[in-house]
Structure 1
Amino acid sequence: MKSKYLLPLIAVFFISLIGCDKKAHLKKLPENSDSLQILFDLANDDKIVFSKRHQYAEKILSTISKNDNDSLTRVNYFKVANRFFNMNALEDYKSTVELIIPKANEARDTLSLAKADEYLGDYFGKKFHSEKAYSYYFDAEQLYSAKKEYAKTAKVVINKAIIQLNEKDFVGSEKSVFKALKLLQKENDEDLRYQGTNILGIIYDELAEYSKSIEYYEKALQIASTGNVSRSMQAKATTLNNLGALYQKKHKYKEALEYFNQSFQQENLYADNPLLFGNLKYNIGYSMFKLNDFSKLPKLYYAALKIADSLKFAPDIIACNLNLSEFYLEKSDTLKARDFATKAYLLAKENRIPKDILTSLKQMSLSDPKRKSDYSEQYIKIADSLQLAERQVRNKLGRIEYETDQLATDKANLVEQRKTLTYIVLGIILIGAFIFVIRTQAAKNRELRLVQEQQKANEEIYRLMITQQQQRDEGRQLEKKRIARELHDGVMGQLTAIRLNLFALRRKQDQETIQHALTFIDRIQDVEKEIRSIAYNLDSPLSGHTDFSEVIQTIFSGLEQHSGIRFYLETEDFVDWDSVLIETKVQLYRILQEALQNIVKYAQADKVVVHLGKQGTMIRIVVEDNGIGFDTNQIRKGLGLKNMQERALELGGMMKVQSAPGKGTKLEFLLPTRPVL
């Protein structure tokens, strides 16, 4: 059987090697307790049976799931996942990694997210789901790159290159490897540099550029020989195996056998990499088969099959079955040849490995000539569909990066649009704020103008009040002069005449003189009447025929002009003001005037109501305001209240005060219509 199917298997093997490297690079971190570390050690001990190790890993998972979502807990989750991976419990491995993702998102732990994507890429790589594996590796690459983790970025890029190699996207794989090697110029990681160089050897081997392939294999051997590459990788053995496969492909089986034997002689090969150890056994056996040396056959094939079965690695199991089929066909044992070819076919179909399905069908047609046409028909159909599928997969791998880049571009555009929208909104807000400030300032200016105008009006009112007061003073002066004239010219003249005529009584007191004097005494009454007339004229607003409510309205008008207070008069009952003595009305006038003046000065009120009526034979006056009020128990009565009370008492009446802070003031007066003698 031809050996060209071996090179893709080497690439598949290589991805599993990178995945299994988790154990070699596992770092021990401090645990929450010694017992947890013991469980980790037991779960990683290959000497313990699988079921026990699995139980230990599950117990660790149960324990750490109760811990807080901190960095140590997430590290422990990854360590449990590694245990499951090393024992090939892939579904448990995947579910454990999926538990990490929401925790990493919650903690905004970018590196843990990247690592989880990388681990899921390893899972789908082991399952031969190239698209999903590539997608997860690409996501991990973006996250690692954002954190400038150059070595980790290079590692997932190399994993991408292996997937591209398996899907025969050799140009894409080559591009990825060179990208990884460029990243490694910033990091001193010889393991990854070796892996990238070795993959370039495989790529050029597939492209039939054998000299270039050998060149890179030799470079890989130089890196492996420096001693800086991890021994557990068995790097030298891997590259020697790949060189043997190259010469096997060129039908140079002796040279191939030399490289295989050199690889097989490396120390601790089985312990470090049993998969490579088994691969070498059937490679050596196949080269011997092609050299017609059957001395160790089929023993080598069965030994390789046993190792592949123990590792449950389908590609190697299929390869061993196909080698055995070819061997027994050569020995003319068509029954065994067909049986091994059928096993290979069924396993390839179960694991959805199209290339191995084709190879198995070809071997089945050789071992069962009667059904050759059926197998050939299936082969052609699968080959056509495989070619289309490979092309589609390669296109999808390219689209993954393109679409992701497109999403990143769209995201960037969306961010720019959001920025633009934010700027527009901020601009609108600023313009609105500017307009608001302008309007507020304009309102303040208007208010200031109103205040100024009010101030001018108050000044004008004050000026008018002063003018009015001056006019009143002038009027009073004129009135004083008039009264003085009347008293001097009228009253004083009559009194002087009376006094002179009455002086006659000092000289004589006869009846005639007395009678004459009595006439002048009667004239004293006329003088009295004249004086009363002058007094009445002084109090003309309160003359006997004046309605007292009209006088109150006059007081209101004078106060409203300069105080801004609204005054209201309420009359409950009719009062016959003509029957009220002028002296009583004067006192009422003074009391009311004093009360209203006090309100204007101190009450801070904007409304005053005066109730006017009768209570029995008494005049009842109530003055009520809505001002600030005062505590009648704490505030001593001022001069105004005292004057009002004294005037009320002089008339034989009473005054009552009701007030409280914040509740205004109420003054109530009960006054007789005539003074009490």
Structure 2
Amino acid sequence: MKKNYPIFFILGLLLIGCTKNRKDFSDSDNSDSLAIFLSYANEDSVPFEKRLNYNDKALSIILDDDNDSLSRANLFKVANRYFNMNKLEKYEKTSKLIIEKAKAKRDTASVGKAYVYLGDFYANTSKKDSAFSYYTKAQKIYQKLNDVKNLGGVYISMALVQADQKDYLGGELSAIKALNVLRESQEKPKIYEAYNILGYISNELQDYEKSLEYHTKALNLAKENNLNEFFQVATSLNNIGNVYQNQGDYESAISNFNEALRAKNLFSEKPNLYAILLDNLGYSTFKLSENSELPPELFNKSLKIRDSLNLTFGEIYSNIHLSEYYAANKDTSKAKKYAQEALRLAKETKRDADVLMALKQAGTVEPENASIYSREYIKINDSLQNAERKIKDKFARIEFETNEIIQEKDKLAEQNRNMIFFFGLAIMIGILLFVIRSQRARTKELLLKQAQQKANEDIYNLMLFQQAKIEEGRANEKIRIAQELHDGILGRLFGARLNLDSLNKRQDEAAIDVRNTYLVELKSIEQDIREISHDLNREKSALNNNFVSIVNNLIDQQENLSDANVSFLIDPTIEWEKLENTVKINLYRILQESLQNINKYAQAENIKIEIKISGNKLKLVVKDDGNGFSVSKKNKGIGLQNMLSRAEACNGNLDIKSKPGKGTTITIAVPIETNIKTE
């Protein structure tokens, strides 16, 4: 019977499992309860239930910690311990928890590693399509990260899954990808695994020459790099012997099996491999000698070891080999017994490939039931072939769909980046346009204020010019009157005085008295006229500032428009010629607006206006005893807003105090220092 025992694949899985080993015992720290729990959970000398309890406690502590890189690293340790204790459900939950936490922190490397853990979980629970899916997701992450070591490991895991499902071409391609990625690296154990997988696949495809080439490369690599921690040399020798066994070269097979069995501590350290080698050695020896009297000691010893280790898969092969052995020795009863045991175990495992081998052997040793076994064999074989075709297509579809999802994700990410970019650009443009518009509006407002100020100054200058013309006319008129008085009246009076003086020649008493009386009167008139003339000239020189005159004119107008009594007080020490025209204009306009409001709304009987110096401020106070209003409830109309704006233009303050029926007091305080003219 052709040997189809996939030892290469099984050992590959064992090697992958060895990556979840007990080498992190160094984490132990007696002062740290988490480290203590993790170390006890990883110690084989501790009873299983206690180890599991310690690992559960470690998980509880980690869940209470912050989601940082150290916490996630400890979660991986917890997952490893669940895996080693064969608590695969907890291993799966912990792995999914790591993915959740790693995604929350954008820890891509941890996400990829957790995908590998989930792939290992499904690979060990016979859900090969799910395992392949998670390995493919991890592969895409490690490609982006350019993580050669982990990418090579993922390709090896994918190749193992594909080879197990008889997708040999896909598995071969994945293993070659692993070699290409790892070729320049120092990851010799992973390169060794890739060679083993390629050797196994070539053996299954009956390309024995190529299979021997790959297994020989793996053997040389293990010897040259001292890769014997997990008995890689013995494993490779077994794999090479298996290829020779399938070729019918039993002598070469026996030579390799015997060399592998000479490995030190093989039985104590790797009893499963030891049992495989015994079974293979026994089978090759049996096929070579064709001696029906050869004792089945090697088969029985292998079966005993496998049974003690609960290696059901190996037990099936041991039973089939024993059935073959006893059939060759014409012991039909025992041949049937071992064939039925193999069939029972194969059906328990629910692995169709194992069931097919057991059915074939049962049909051989029970010819009376051969038709029954044959029909069942054909049914299972057809189903298996359909499943294999589907799983091959499914692997290709998973890889294709994963690529599509990643491409779609990348496309969406790019679209999101573009949207964010254009959205940000639009916001920036909007802000820029807003700033430009605001700046333009501010500039326009500033220009308008400047124009308004210029207009106010022009108006004020025009008012000053008009007032100056009026004053000039008044002064000219006064001069003319003074000249008339001086040149006309005084001249005539002087002549009269002379004439009267000539009468002094009369010496009678009456004439003298009359003349003296007139002379005294004329002198008095002359003096009065001279004083008037001098007063007129002094008044002209006293009119040294037209602002006061303009305000007086405004008050005169108010008295003509209203029946209210107006009192006006002005501090004579104010040096108006030193103040900016802007201050005078705004004070004048505020006073004008205040009087207009009094006329419109106040119905006041008395108005008091006062301009004075208070400290370093010039104050204008307008007070009336009119109706008043509620300052808090009163909406600021255009008039009040203009008054406030004019006060602010002079760096001053506007204060309005009023109550219904209590009159109104408006006070404008303007700092003098900031409003002095500069030459």
Same fold, TM-score > 0.5, yes or no: yes
Residues 139 and 27 (structure 1), Cα distance of their counterparts in 2 relative to 1, 3 Å cut:
farther
Q: Which residue of 2 aligns with 1:250?
A: 247
Shift in Å, 1:470 = 4.7
Residues 505 and 12 (structure 1), Cα distance of their counterparts in 2 relative to 1, 3 Å cut:
farther
Question: Are the counterparts in 1 of residues 22 and 42 from structure 2 also a CA contact under 8 Å?
Answer: no
Q: Which residue of 1 aligns with 2:197?
A: 199
Aligned to 2:221, which of 220, 223, 228?
223
Q: Which residue of 2 aligns with 1:332?
A: 332
Q: Which residue of 2 aligns with 1:348?
A: 349
Shift in Å, 1:64 = 4.7
Shift in Å, 1:458 = 5.0
**Aligned equivalents of 2:456, 2:562: Cα separation in 1:** 36
Q: Structure 2: which 5+ residue stretches go unaligned?
A: 538-548, 600-604, 622-651, 658-664, 668-679
**Aligned equivalents of 1:47, 1:208: Cα separation in 2:** 45
Residues 305 and 56 (structure 1), Cα distance of their counterparts in 2 relative to 1, 3 Å cut:
farther
**Aligned equivalents of 1:62, 1:145: Cα separation in 2:** 34
Question: Are the counterparts in 2 of residues 121 and 134 from structure 1 also a CA contact under 8 Å?
Answer: yes
Question: Are the counterparts in 2 of residues 358 and 382 from structure 1 also a CA contact under 8 Å?
Answer: yes
Residues 293 and 509 (structure 1), Cα distance of their counterparts in 2 relative to 1, 3 Å cut:
farther
Shift in Å, 1:479 = 0.6
**Aligned equivalents of 2:352, 2:421: Cα separation in 1:** 56
Q: Which residue of 1 aligns with 2:655?
A: 663
Output the amino acid matched with 2:147: E
Q: Which residue of 1 aligns with 2:625?
A: none
**Aligned equivalents of 1:297, 1:75: Cα separation in 2:** 54
Q: Which residue of 1 aligns with 2:395?
A: 397
Q: TM (normalized to structure 1)?
A: 0.73
Q: Which residue of 2 aligns with 1:622?
A: 608
Bigger mean CA deviation after superposition, 510-519 or 392-401: 510-519
Aligned to 2:91, which of 90, 93, 106?
93
Question: Are the counterparts in 2 of residues 137 and 156 from structure 1 also a CA contact under 8 Å?
Answer: yes
**Aligned equivalents of 1:111, 1:590: Cα separation in 2:** 87
* CA deviation map 1:390-417 (0-9, x unaligned): 1221222223332232233333333433
Q: Does 1:279 align with 2:279?
A: no
Output the amino acid matched with 1:214: L
Question: Are the counterparts in 2 of residues 494 and 527 from structure 1 also a CA contact under 8 Å?
Answer: no
Residues 358 and 464 (structure 1), Cα distance of their counterparts in 2 relative to 1, 3 Å cut:
same
**Identity rate of aligned residues, in percent?**
36
What SS is found at the alignment partner of 2:20? helix
Question: Are the counterparts in 1 of residues 317 and 342 from structure 2 also a CA contact under 8 Å?
Answer: no
Q: 1:481-520 residue pairs with structure 2 within 5 A?
A: 481-488=479-486, 491-492=489-490, 495-496=493-494, 499=497
* CA deviation map 1:219-248 (0-9, x unaligned): 22222222x233222112112222222233
Aligned to 1:263, which of 257, 260, 264?
260
Residues 452 and 41 (structure 1), Cα distance of their counterparts in 2 relative to 1, 3 Å cut:
closer
Q: Which residue of 2 aligns with 1:212?
A: 210
What SS is found at the alignment partner of 1:267? coil
Q: Which residue of 2 aligns with 1:547?
A: none
Output the amino acid matched with 1:241: N
What SS is found at the alignment partner of 1:232? coil
Q: Does 1:5 align with 2:34?
A: no
Task: Count how many residue pairs are aligned between Structure 1 and Structure 2.
Answer: 602
Shift in Å, 1:170 = 2.0
* CA deviation map 1:631-662 (0-9, x unaligned): x6x57999x99xxxxxxxxxxxxxxxxxx975
Q: 1:276-675 residue pairs with structure 2 within 5 A?
A: 276-290=273-287, 291-293=289-291, 299-326=297-324, 331-333=331-333, 336-337=337-338, 339-349=340-350, 353-366=351-364, 372-429=370-427, 431-433=429-431, 435-436=433-434, 438-440=436-438, 442-443=440-441, 446-447=444-445, 449-450=447-448, 453-454=451-452, 457=455, 460-461=458-459, 464-465=462-463, 467-488=465-486, 491-492=489-490, 495-496=493-494, 499=497, 555-556=553-554, 573=563, 601=584, 606-608=589-591, 609-610=594-595, 620-623=606-609, 662-663=654-655
Bigger mean CA deviation after superposition, 147-156 or 525-534: 525-534
**Aligned equivalents of 1:527, 1:124: Cα separation in 2:** 136
Residues 404 and 80 (structure 1), Cα distance of their counterparts in 2 relative to 1, 3 Å cut:
same
Q: TM (normalized to structure 2)?
A: 0.73
Question: Are the counterparts in 1 of residues 359 and 377 from structure 2 also a CA contact under 8 Å?
Answer: yes
Q: Which residue of 2 aligns with 1:22?
A: 20
* CA deviation map 1:297-346 (0-9, x unaligned): 65544543443344444422433344455556662227624641442233
Residues 269 and 40 (structure 1), Cα distance of their counterparts in 2 relative to 1, 3 Å cut:
farther
Output the amino acid matched with 1:332: T
Question: Are the counterparts in 1 of residues 490 and 529 from structure 2 also a CA contact under 8 Å?
Answer: no
Shift in Å, 1:6 = 0.6
Q: Which residue of 1 aligns with 2:161?
A: 163
Shift in Å, 1:160 = 1.5
**Aligned equivalents of 1:90, 1:173: Cα separation in 2:** 25
Question: Are the counterparts in 1 of residues 189 and 227 from structure 2 also a CA contact under 8 Å?
Answer: yes
Question: Are the counterparts in 1 of residues 286 and 294 from structure 2 also a CA contact under 8 Å?
Answer: no
* CA deviation map 1:579-633 (0-9, x unaligned): xxxxxx9xx78979999x89964985853234999xxxxx9432389xxx98x6x
**Aligned equivalents of 1:197, 1:24: Cα separation in 2:** 26
Residues 416 and 470 (structure 1), Cα distance of their counterparts in 2 relative to 1, 3 Å cut:
same
What SS is found at the alignment partner of 1:233? coil
Output the amino acid matched with 1:621: I
Question: Are the counterparts in 2 of residues 157 and 180 from structure 1 also a CA contact under 8 Å?
Answer: yes
Residues 337 and 50 (structure 1), Cα distance of their counterparts in 2 relative to 1, 3 Å cut:
same
Aligned to 2:182, which of 181, 184, 190?
184
Output the amino acid matched with 1:5: N
Residues 229 and 90 (structure 1), Cα distance of their counterparts in 2 relative to 1, 3 Å cut:
farther
Question: Are the counterparts in 1 of residues 112 and 137 from structure 2 also a CA contact under 8 Å?
Answer: yes
Output the amino acid matched with 1:344: L
Residues 623 and 440 (structure 1), Cα distance of their counterparts in 2 relative to 1, 3 Å cut:
same
Q: 1:121-160 residue pairs with structure 2 within 5 A?
A: 121-160=119-158
